[in-house]
Chains A and B, each alone.
Chain A
Amino acid sequence: MSTTVAEKKEKVSVPFDYNKYLRPNKLPHIWCPGCGHGIVLKAMLRAIDKAGLDKNNIALVSGIGCSSRTPGYVDFNTLHTLHGRALPFATGIKLARPEMKVIVVTGDGDALAIGGNHFIHACRRNIDITVLVFTNATYGMTGGQYSPTTPLESIATTSRYGNIEPPFDTCEMAKASGATFVARGTAYHTLELEKTIHEAITHKGTSVVDIIDACPTYFGRANKFKSATHMMEEIEKDGTVNVKQAANLPPEKLAGKMLRGVLHKVEGPEYCEKYDILIKEKASAKK
């Protein structure tokens, strides 16, 4: 009898211990009630744990914005840099210390507007950096201006009568620029997001994950969403389809929906490796 109980106890799942990766004295974080960034941060920590990475060997780099506050709360090597310039800093770290795992956390405005140029060139180089783009379709930190991913006709503080600019598709842009791993996840599908981030982290080359999460304070309030839950259900659950399910669905059911999951994965020559080969070749030629 006692063995049965012991066996049962072994099967018990213990909740994930986030504290081993956090700086607990920095909590509570600054994000508003219901903000999806916290959910994404948790999924990222679980994915890092699953990949078995040493926290002293990870560099987490960010720019400016709500999402870019993430490095403040985690106990890795962290860098909080200039607006839009997280990727150049990350590229520098990767070139100086190629053995390090470099992860960039950035918002949609930070990555695609202010740092848009850096984003496409990091993808083009295929340098081994993981870019997590927290897409909340607004500039939360500065008061809810519309961003490059704000959907058409959405209300923002700078588009009071509806946004007339078509939004960027982050994944299509990353793929076209040359990233070798492109995926999309949402804060609602948190376990799927954990798997996607894990796959992105373990991929060799530039990996981009577009993560849809909610800004209830600005985007939600301006666009008549009742709560964070309402936003998560309407935008993240009903507004996306897994890429595997989408293969069996008729086109009319896919209209207006974003694809989730791994959208593009190829192998390609990595920048740091190519650089090493070049240096070795030239050094041996001189001798």
Chain B
Amino acid sequence: MTESAAKKLPRIAINERLCKGCSICVDFCPTDVLEMKGSCVAVKNLEACTRCQLCDLRCPDFAIQVFD
């Protein structure tokens, strides 16, 4: 049970209405989880997410948050 809890993936909530596509979150993500899809951010590799919250902290548009 503990093992399955450790493997639990975070949920990255992206608000496409608010995202302006500045790519700050993509550039600052230390484990390269995010990518740009057109003018909006998308999740590329969720397994690599370490829940550091840097994308949330530096997003100027209230568009991305990481839930555990």
Q: Say if the beta carbon of B61 comes within 8 Å of chain A.
A: yes
Q: Contact string, A221-235, partner B, CB cutoff 8 A, digits 1/0?
A: 000000111001000
Q: Is the CB of A33 within 8 A of B58?
A: no
A275 within 8 A of B: no
Task: Give Cα A31 to B18, complex, Å.
Answer: 11
Interface string of B53-66 (1 = CB under 8 A from A): 10011111110011
For B27, the closest partner residue in chain A by CB is A229
State which of A37-45, A143-151, A166-174, A177-185 sits at the interface with chain B: A37-45
User: CB-CB < 8 A to A15: which residues of B?
Assistant: 53, 56, 65-67
What mask results when residues 6 to 34 of chain A are scored 1 for a CB within 8 Å of chain B, else 0?
A: 00100011111010001000011101111
Q: How far is the CA of A31 from the CA of B53 in the complex (A)?
A: 22
Chain B, Cβ-Cβ closest to A22:
B62
Q: B interface, by DSSP: helix, strand, loop or mixed?
A: loop
- B1-39 interface with A by 8 A CB criterion: 1-2, 5, 17-18, 20-24, 27-28
> Is residue A205 contacting chain B, with contact meaning CB distance below 8 A?
no
Please judge, given known A-B contacts A15-B67, A27-B62, A42-B62, whether A232 and B57 are in contact too, CB under 8 Å. no
In the bound complex, residues from chain B placing their C-beta under 8 Å from that of A32 are: 20
A4 to B57, CA, bound (A): 29
Inter-subunit contact A5/B2 (CB<8 Å): yes
Residues of B within 8 Å of A13, CB to CB, are 51, 53, 68
Whole-angstrom distance from the CB of A174 to the nearest CB of chain B? 26
The residue on A at minimum CB distance from B54 is: A190
Instruction: Give complex CA distance A10, B66 in Å.
Output: 16
- A65 located at the interface, meaning its Cβ lies under 8 Å from any Cβ of chain B in the complex: no
Q: Contact check, A227 vs B1: say whether CB atoms are below 8 A apart.
A: no
Q: Which residues of chain A come closer than 8 Å to B51, judged between CB atoms?
A: 13
Known: A1-B1, A229-B28. A190 touches B65 (CB 8 A): no
Interface residue ranges, A against B (CB under 8 Å): 1-2, 4-5, 8, 12-16, 18, 22, 27-29, 31-39, 42, 187-188, 190-191, 216, 227-229, 232
| Contacts from B to A (Cβ < 8 Å) | 1-2, 5, 17-18, 20-24, 27-28, 51, 53, 56-62, 65-68
Residue pairs across A and B with Cβ atoms less than 8 A apart, 21 shown, are A2-B1, A4-B2, A5-B5, A13-B53, A15-B56, A15-B67, A16-B56, A33-B21, A34-B22, A34-B24, A36-B60, A37-B60, A38-B61, A187-B58, A190-B57, A190-B58, A227-B22, A229-B23, A229-B24, A229-B27, A229-B28
